[in-house]
Amino acid sequence: MGVDSGDHAVERSHLDTKCYRYIQLKNGLLAVLMSTIDPVKENSEVFNHSDETSAVALCVGSGSFSDPDEAPGLSHLLEHMLFQGSKKYTNETDFSSYVRACGGTYNAVTGQERSLYAFDVKTTHFEDCLSRFSQFFVAPLMAKSKMDQELATVQCEYEQAASDDSLRLEHFVGSLAAPGTPFKKFMYGNKESLEVIPKRVGVDVYALLRKHWETNFSAHRMTLAIQSHASFDELESLVRTHFEAIPKRNYPQPDYSSFSKCFETPTFARLHKVCPVKYMETLQLVWSLPRLQQSYESKPLAILGGLLADEGEGSILHTLRTMNFATEIYVFNNLTSTPVHSSFCTLLCLCIKLSKLGSKHWDQVCQVVFDYIKLLQNSIQSKAGTIQKKDTHNPRQKRIQNNFASYLEERKIIYESTFLYGEPEAALQCCMTVAELMQLVPIESVCSAPHILKKPDPDLYLRLLKQMTPRSVCIVHASSDFVRLLDRDPQLQQEPWFKIMYKSEDIAPATLKTWEMSQPSDSLHLPLQNLFITKNALIMPLGEPQDPRDLNLEPGAENRRRYGHLWYQRNSKYETGKTIMFVHLWSPEMSGTPETFLLQRLLLFVLEQHLREVAYEGEVASMWHSLKFSANGLLIEVSGFSGKFFLFYSTLLRLILEKLPILSDTQFNMYKDSVKQTLFSLLADPSSVSRFVCGYLLQKDSYRIEQLTQCLQKLSTAEVFAFKQHIFLKLHISAYFYGNVTEKEAIGLYQYTIEKIGALPLKQRKFSDTVIYEPGAYQLRLLNSNLTDVNMCVAHVLVLGRADLRHAVLNELCA
């Protein structure tokens, strides 16, 4: 594992060429300096690389948990008020606009226990922006005259969150905490919490705001990360000049340790039936566990979450798919994410996207989860070795099933190789990550902590699993059907801030007993050993800067040329162990009718389900793929470490070309229902509706959602099979390769694609026609399908007529 050669030994990846220094200012502020030049070059200019991006992030050890009870959401309001001018720059009232004018970006996040402020900009403007940025922490104006303006912004963000089911459910789980505990707080804030109610009871919110800033924004509770093309001495001078004036106050850090059992309440471990805003069927199983931030080297949430959310053979999701109960599963496990981690407890949230059938049988879904938890407990305590099994995707190949010890060893290798050979983060994201992690882990681990498994701890994992019982789980079942079924139920309740309609009930004793007594079936087991792990990435030296070249135009490429283009470009700027490939398969069968449009969506969904297990196995090993229909063709994108690139791509392509695994009408109806959910979700979001309507108005092959939903019900399995067969008969194949790949390898992959598909070549391809409108102004107004949603979206479309590539790029730049 690499360490820097500068002042501080920060663990970093092989591809991270930055040098690190750690300093503490007189006021107690801690800073990590990240120099992108060699620190021994003392004669360098501070801004000698004007085109390079510089960035800074400042993290304050205070968030929404610190909100006073009289003004819920005050920290969020402070985030907005803070950047409305300072005593030094009294006329600078919109920092984000100033940064954007200098070609940069600005970001601010108010979390539960930390708040993060950051920006990046071209190095030419960095010190000027840094001076303005620092003054918001030294002496912000926070003028009372700006309160109404910023409160309106907070209200707008609240209204956007109120139409987002994932954020609503996150807030709902927090609302189940005991009264008076931090999770119970309304952290978004709105006009009611920050203006109407305080006025009614005589609370001066502005005075609270000033006091809140003074109490919590002290230098000794701040950490800073800065990155620029400057020497350490120059960076240190910048930090001391601009941030040493931040006041240090003698207010202690909040202690939340007394709230460790805040979810041990009668309202938490129950079944909660929630009415969503959008069309959805989900099941969340939530457990409150002890604080785990201090165990970051053992990654307990990542290990257990990775097992529970595994998608391969033997997993929870694999079993639920065979039962036609579910299509997706995931667990939040980021070290810094909220509300997962806090300083006093941890929430493990397993989220399952259900089918209609699965929603009806939610209790059986839960039983599979609890059976798998028992399996994990048994596996940790067992001394059994690995087991050889047949590969369900390739019966001629043998696979090895992990035991718990081999699984941990495999994960350790995966985490380390991903960290060591992964591409470094962009400057802004790197600074934000480092600044926040400085509040949680030792300085040497600020880059590696989220990634490396240093100390596997089976005893810790077992203790946590034993706490994840049927009697301690909070089950949140969100279903669109509840909007209708619970409409007149006398037990229907309303959460006060987001107006979430729900019904809570005890889980039946017989159901609890069934879950407790059930034993795991033989179909459940630990993951198979991963085929796509890269232990040592071979990195090619950087090539000379060059434009992409079409290798099919070169001598000897006549046969390939009949199919289309093979664009190739060596990486010439950053060393990387990864290859990126795009393959576009254009077919004349992919346009023309609403039925064709829907067949594309159905085929795509079926293929994604068929690829899911292999795709997930690749994703675990940092191999990624994407499938989508674009420009009347199927676009396949693959990226990952070069060593296992061909194996991953060839496996995906083989599965794409196989017979579709639609085994029953029930399964096909589940697929159609999922596509229907996607279409209806478009209607629930104003910005999505706007994009969809723009496409409908501008593209000839576009259709109204009502047309599509009517056609969807009529489609049959046979039509999907026939559609897939037809689109691969004749193809135009264009490909683009970039990164850690040679010309020979690119040609080999293109040739493999041609031979594996076996299609006849199409030399030309035809793109969708655009509708031609007469010059003039056209207006179209649509009502939100969700009449309670106050958000709106405006799309201003300028039709510029036909454009060549140069003008198309200029249009994008102007936009």
Q: Is the per-residue pLDDT at 533 higher than 70?
A: yes
Q: Is the per-residue pLDDT at 8 higher than 60?
A: yes
* 13, 103: one domain: yes
CB neighbour list of residue 396: distance below 8 Å, 6 or more residues apart: none
- Mark which of 196, 216, 243 sits at the end of a domain: 243
Domain for residue 574, yes or no?
yes
- How would residue 108 be classed by pLDDT, with cut points 50, 70 and 90? very high
Q: Residue 374 has what pLDDT? A: 98
H/E element, 653: helix 645-657
Q: How far apart, in Å, are the Cα atoms of 215 and each of 209, 252, 763?
A: 10, 9, 69
Q: Residue 539 has what pLDDT? A: 76
* 462, 564: one domain: no
Q: Residue 250 has what pLDDT? A: 87
Give me the percent of the chain exceeding a pLDDT of 70. Answer: 89
* 276, 183: one domain: no
Q: How far apart are CA 188 and CA 761, in angstroms?
A: 56
Domain for residue 772, yes or no?
no
How do residues 188-203 score in pLDDT, each as one tens digit?
999 999 999 999 999 9
How do residues 458-479 score in pLDDT, each as one tens digit?
999 999 999 999 999 999 999 9
Q: Residue 663 has what pLDDT? A: 76
Higher-scoring residue by pLDDT: 439, 784: 439
H/E element, 227: strand 222-228
Phi/psi-derived region of residue 312, left when phi > 0, alpha when psi is between -120 and 50, beta in every other case: beta
What is the rounded average pLDDT of the residues 748-752? 97
What is the rounded average pLDDT of the residues 772-798? 68
* 557, 483: one domain: no
Residue 86 gets which letter from DSSP?
A: B
Q: Say if residues 510 and 363 touch (Cβ distance below 8 Å).
A: no
How do residues 221-241 score in pLDDT, each as one tens digit?
999 999 999 999 999 999 999
* 465, 328: one domain: yes
Domain for residue 156, yes or no?
yes
Domain for residue 773, yes or no?
no
Domain for residue 780, yes or no?
no
Q: Residue 170 has what pLDDT? A: 95
Domain for residue 87, yes or no?
yes
Q: Is the per-residue pLDDT at 205 higher than 50?
A: yes
How do residues 43-90 score in pLDDT, each as one tens digit?
444 434 556 899 999 999 999 999 999 999 999 999 999 998 899 998
SS3 labels along 50-74: CCCEEEEEEEECCCHHHCCCCCCCH
What is the rounded average pLDDT of the residues 481-497? 92
How do residues 397-454 score in pLDDT, each as one tens digit?
778 999 999 999 999 999 999 898 888 899 999 999 999 999 999 999 999 999 999 9
Please give the model's pTM, rounded to 2 decimal places. 0.89
What is the rounded average pLDDT of the residues 273-295? 95
Higher-scoring residue by pLDDT: 45, 714: 714
Q: Is the per-residue pLDDT at 804 higher than 60?
A: yes
3-state helix, strand, coil in the chain (%, to 5): 40, 20, 40
Q: Is the per-residue pLDDT at 42 higher than 70?
A: no
How do residues 304-329 score in pLDDT, each as one tens digit?
999 999 999 999 999 999 999 999 99
Q: How far apart are CA 377 and CA 203, in angstroms?
A: 52
Average pLDDT, the chain: 89
- How would residue 19 be classed by pLDDT, with cut points 50, 70 and 90? very high
* 238, 268: one domain: no
Q: How many domains, in total, are found in the chain?
A: 3
- Mark which of 219, 243, 267 sits at the end of a domain: 243
Ranges 96-100, 296-300, 336-340, 701-705: which has the least confidence: 336-340
- How would residue 628 be classed by pLDDT, with cut points 50, 70 and 90? very high
* 86, 218: one domain: yes
Q: Is the per-residue pLDDT at 496 higher than 80?
A: yes
How do residues 154-182 score in pLDDT, each as one tens digit?
999 999 999 999 999 999 999 999 999 99
* 329, 470: one domain: yes
Q: Is the per-residue pLDDT at 577 higher than 50?
A: yes
Q: Residue 393 has what pLDDT? A: 61
* 328, 388: one domain: yes
* 308, 203: one domain: no
Domain for residue 811, yes or no?
no
H/E element, 692: helix 686-698
* 187, 303: one domain: no
Q: Residue 2 has what pLDDT? A: 42
Q: What is the CATH number of the domain that holds 123?
A: 3.30.830.10
Half-sphere exposure of 646 toward its Cβ, with a 13 Å CA cutoff?
13
- How would residue 39 be classed by pLDDT, with cut points 50, 70 and 90? very low
Domain for residue 455, yes or no?
yes
* 719, 590: one domain: yes
Q: Is the per-residue pLDDT at 1 higher than 90?
A: no
- Burial of 625-647, coded b for 16+ CB within 10 Å and e otherwise, reads bebebeebbbbbbbbbbbbbbee
Q: Is the per-residue pLDDT at 335 higher than 70?
A: no
Which residue range forms the structural domain that includes residue 98? 2-243
Q: How far apart, in Å, are the Cα atoms of 33 and each of 18, 427, 548?
A: 10, 12, 36
Ranges 70-84, 93-107, 213-227, 565-579: which has the least confidence: 565-579
